[in-house]
Amino acid sequence: MKELPFHIETLAIHGAEQSEQNQSLNPPIYMTSTFTFTDLQQADDTFSFKRKAYVYTRGGNPTVNLFEKRLAAIEGGEDSVAFSSGMAAISTVLMSLAKAGDEIVAHRNLYGSTFGLTSRLLPSFNLPTRYIDMTNLEEIEEALTKDTKVFFLETPTNPSMEIIDISAVAEIAHQHGIKVVVDNTFASPCFQRPLNHGADVVVHSATKYLSGHGDTLGGIATSKDEKYIADLKFGYMCELGGVMSPFNAWLILRGMKTLPLRMKMHESNAIAIARFLLGHHAVKRVIYPGLEDHPGHSIAAKQMTGYGGIVSFELHGGLDAARSFVEKLKLLKLAVSLGDTESLVEIPALMTHRDYPSSELEKFGFTESTVRISAGLEHPEDLLADMEQAL
Ligand SMILES: Cc1ncc(COP(=O)(O)O)c(C=O)c1O
């Protein structure tokens, strides 16, 4: 395991700090598409790699670059590529690791658009995905074929909060020359660093906890393999074009300074919500990896340093009860997304996960009436009072 030079609280603020010519405490936003040359000789030296300089923001920008280096520092990676959204990061990474005729093996429960990408879009380019239950390691061995090039998983998963043993999956993958990509959006690098458990690439929707304020979209992919990251940037991101805006990079850098502090509060609010729901007669099942009866609890305790800020649950009374609950809430907002200061609630089958076939949801680990709450940073008593009146 790579030793971090500082604790994550320090790295989230100072990681990859640059000496700024005007000694500004915060990084400037280089809001420019292009960078100039003094003469053709300088241009020639730059294009022939004799001189290292910024040329065009799609290929590199100092503000975006700082975000890439800082995220790598807190994920235990060597370098990263930032993207315009989490989906741009996921689609570009998958296309960089698997080609037409290859196969992806993914855990069955994924964010809805990731399921849409892998079940509809990539197969139309002759790149199919096989969905399995990766909590069962035997299923992984059985699913492998000579064409499998990538394992893709989230842990905890969205929305069913399943926990997958990253080290065990990576061990199987590497015996067969397969790359492991982990979507670490739910845990954030504060609670889980998949690269230190053998993952080859970590992706994030930076829109969520990294930004933390629900005011920007962003994505990022990071790895310990610097050569892969250079290829991902110049061979794929630059060509496909899902580049991050310097302004969004600046907003996410601003958000990241408080990431460790926020994650602690998101988690303590999630624990308060999970306990409250557990004790409520209207609630049928609470799914939170911090609960001892969660099937993945012991793996979560081993590979995570916190259980995160998302709680899923089922109400007695199914979909009607779930609908009535979310519509009666006043403080918790009915919305997609997660990881914001505001607590957000949704019914994934009706909202973020509509890409899944409605008649087969249980096969993918959730139901039509699963409710997902992203615990925000409000006072827990106010959140529980709102939930109590809605229940
Ligand atoms: C786990 C996970 N991965 C990826 C994404 C996609 O990110 P974005 O909306 O930034 O494209 C989301 C969005 O909700 C998500 O929850």
Parallel/antiparallel/unpaired status of strands 283-287 and 103-107: unpaired
Phi and psi, residue 197, nearest 5°: -105, 10
CB 11 within 8 A of CB 77: no
Q: What is the pLDDT of residues 45-68, one digit of tens each?
A: 999 999 999 999 999 999 999 999
Continuous segment of H or E residues that includes residue 203: strand 201-205
3-state secondary structure 73-90: HHHCCCEEEEECCHHHHH
Say what the pLDDT of residue 4 is: 52
Say what the pLDDT of residue 5 is: 77
Say what the pLDDT of residue 71 is: 98
Residue type, 388: E
CB atoms within 10 A of CB 28: 15
Ligand 1 atom showing the smallest separation from residue 218 Cα: 10
Continuous segment of H or E residues that includes residue 151: strand 148-154
Indicate whether residue 27 lines ligand 1 (CB < 6 A). no
Is there a catalytic annotation at residue 111? yes
Indicate whether residue 219 lines ligand 1 (CB < 6 A). yes
Ligand 1 atom showing the smallest separation from residue 207 Cα: 10
Is residue 159 packed enough to be buried (19+ CB in 10 Å), middle (13-18) or exposed (0-12)?
buried
Indicate whether residue 154 lines ligand 1 (CB < 6 A). yes
Say what the pLDDT of residue 21 is: 73
Ligand 1 atom showing the smallest separation from residue 110 Cα: 1
Return the residue whose CA atom lies nearest to atom 10 of ligand 1: 86
Say what the pLDDT of residue 376 is: 98
**What confidence category does residue 365 fall into, taking pLDDT thresholds of 50, 70 and 90?**
confident
- Percent of the chain whose predicted confidence (pLDDT) is above 70: 99
Structure tokens at 47: 């294009």
Chain-centroid distance of CA 263 in Å reads 14
Indicate whether residue 200 lines ligand 1 (CB < 6 A). no
Indicate whether residue 207 lines ligand 1 (CB < 6 A). yes
- Cα separation, 26 vs 35, in Å, equals 21
The whole-model pTM stands at: 0.97
Residue bearing tokens 């061979």: 235
Residue 220 pairs with which residues in a beta bridge? 82, 204
Count, in order, helices (H) and strands (E) of the chain.
15, 12
Residue type, 64: V
Say what the pLDDT of residue 19 is: 78
Cβ partners under 8 Å of residue 299, min gap 6: 163, 164, 165
The DSSP code sequence of 324-346 is HHHHH-SSSEE-S--SSSS-EEE
Is there a catalytic annotation at residue 209? no
Say which of 183, 200, 340, 386 is annotated catalytic.
Answer: 183
Is there a catalytic annotation at residue 354? no
In Å, how far are 19, 22, 62, 141, 225 from 12, measured between CA atoms? Answer: 17, 22, 17, 38, 21
CB atoms within 10 A of CB 48: 8
Structure tokens at 366: 């959730």
Please tell me the distance between residue 111's alpha carbon and the centre of ligand 1 in angstroms.
6
3-state class (DSSP) for residue 129: strand
Indicate whether residue 155 lines ligand 1 (CB < 6 A). no
Residue 314 pairs with which residues in a beta bridge? 285
- Cα separation, 13 vs 26, in Å, equals 10
Residue 228 confidence (pLDDT) above 50: yes
Continuous segment of H or E residues that includes residue 248: helix 246-256
Q: How many residues does the chain have?
A: 391
Q: What is the pLDDT of residues 134-192, one digit of tens each?
A: 999 999 999 999 999 999 999 999 999 999 999 999 999 999 999 999 999 999 999 99
- Cα separation, 189 vs 48, in Å, equals 37
- Cα separation, 301 vs 307, in Å, equals 8
Please tell me the distance between residue 212's alpha carbon and the centre of ligand 1 in angstroms.
13
3-state secondary structure 275-294: HHHHCCCCEEEEECCCCCCC
- Cα separation, 388 vs 159, in Å, equals 22
Phi and psi, residue 50, nearest 5°: -75, -30
Q: What is the pLDDT of residues 322-364, one digit of tens each?
A: 999 999 999 999 999 999 999 999 999 999 999 999 999 999 9
Residue 80 confidence (pLDDT) above 70: yes
| Domains of the chain from N-terminus onward | 8-256 (3.40.640.10), 259-390 (3.90.1150.10)
CA torsion through residues 84, 85, 88, 94, sign: positive
Q: What's the whole-number mean pLDDT along residues 233-247? A: 98
Indicate whether residue 158 lines ligand 1 (CB < 6 A). yes
Is there a catalytic annotation at residue 208? yes
Parallel/antiparallel/unpaired status of strands 219-223 and 201-205: antiparallel
Residue 3 confidence (pLDDT) above 90: no
In Å, how far are 197, 217, 245, 246, 300 from 82, measured between CA atoms? Answer: 22, 11, 9, 10, 27
Indicate whether residue 374 lines ligand 1 (CB < 6 A). no
Pocket-testing residue among 93, 107, 113, ligand 1, by greatest number of atoms within 8 A of Cβ: 113
